[in-house]
Structure 1
């Protein structure tokens, strides 16, 4: 008989929705115009801005938009960002990270599942006024955040 190692996983449905998508942008003004004016997304202002980003928004380094389904689009200004290839068939990414929402009571399980499966985690889980989060890397090195609202 061959013994198999039990690998922990999150239960199906534990990730409730995409919470936010973060993009690096080279021209904040042009990107705000595109997402807010041309595409008509609602730009977060005042108390709508997550407290962890208030100072960066005030400095003009971040802008936040909400899609009609509630997903937040965070734009992070990176003025020194290299331009993409002029060949439109050449793939590239400007995405910073993808964040999934998880119930607060499953957050510790999520961190344990990442550890149990040898997933590379970027630093320690963080706690902010807006909730808790842990950043990890997918198999291609893309940053994924699992986050929950405060309890």
Structure 2
């Protein structure tokens, strides 16, 4: 059996590097670990952390092909972040101009969740941590 330890990172290719960099750092608050311009590929690579943990590689490439995302296309479905209080986070995002779907309840866990999109319409989920009694 393969013994996976954890998710190391998620790679995202964006269509507008500056816009996506702003979104992931200024709107979502991820921390920049390292930013590299790779001249031979005409590409930026931005390593981002969440709470000190390396989580996302954001790439730019000249003229990347579009990828079907919705409705329910085959492939990676969405990126999800766990939050303590979803209503507070939704309000913060809305103040920053991010449109979110209505908060829903997960039928199997009873936890609250919602979705919004990054600048390239990548679906991002907020999932509220189960509250300890």
Name the TM tier (shorter chain).
Answer: 0.3 to 0.5
Q: Compute the TM-score of the two structures, normalised by the length of structure 2.
A: 0.44
The higher-RCO structure (CA 8 Å, 6+ apart) is 1
TM-score by length of 1: 0.39
Instruction: Point out the structure with max Rg over C-alpha.
Output: 1
Structure number with higher strand proportion: 2
